[in-house]
Structure 1
Amino acid sequence: MSQKFDELKQKLKNVDKEKAGQLVKDVKQAHDDGDIDENEKKELMSEAKKTAGGLGGLGK
């Protein structure tokens, strides 16, 4: 797994609900930049959704 993936995964463990939305943007940007692959993005997005308590607007 990529270093960026590991970095984002660690952030997810420490993020509160208010910061989850920003972290989702970071995940999407990392994927767009090619720093993480599609599977890593999916895993991080799943974790973000759990962290945010399933709030809407987190999307894929």
Structure 2
Amino acid sequence: MATPDLRDELEAPVEPLLPIEKKLIGWSFGIGIALLALLVLLNRIIPLTYESTIRPRAFERHRNRP
């Protein structure tokens, strides 16, 4: 079995994408954009901040100290 040479691979003609490969790329891109939009929307509705992740009463006690 011959080992492939990198120079031969770089000089080879470019093969077009198969229709199923185009569909896979499109679906992956679409799902990624949709999930990103969902996360942005969810973050606008329910923002997660450092203050909301710790115990609220303990935080208020320390913030109101003189």
Is the shorter-chain TM-score for this pair beyond 0.5, marking a shared fold?
A: no
> TM (normalized to structure 2)?
0.28
Query: Which protein shows a greater Rg?
Result: 2
Higher RCO (C-alpha 8 Å, min separation 6): 1
> TM (normalized to structure 1)?
0.31
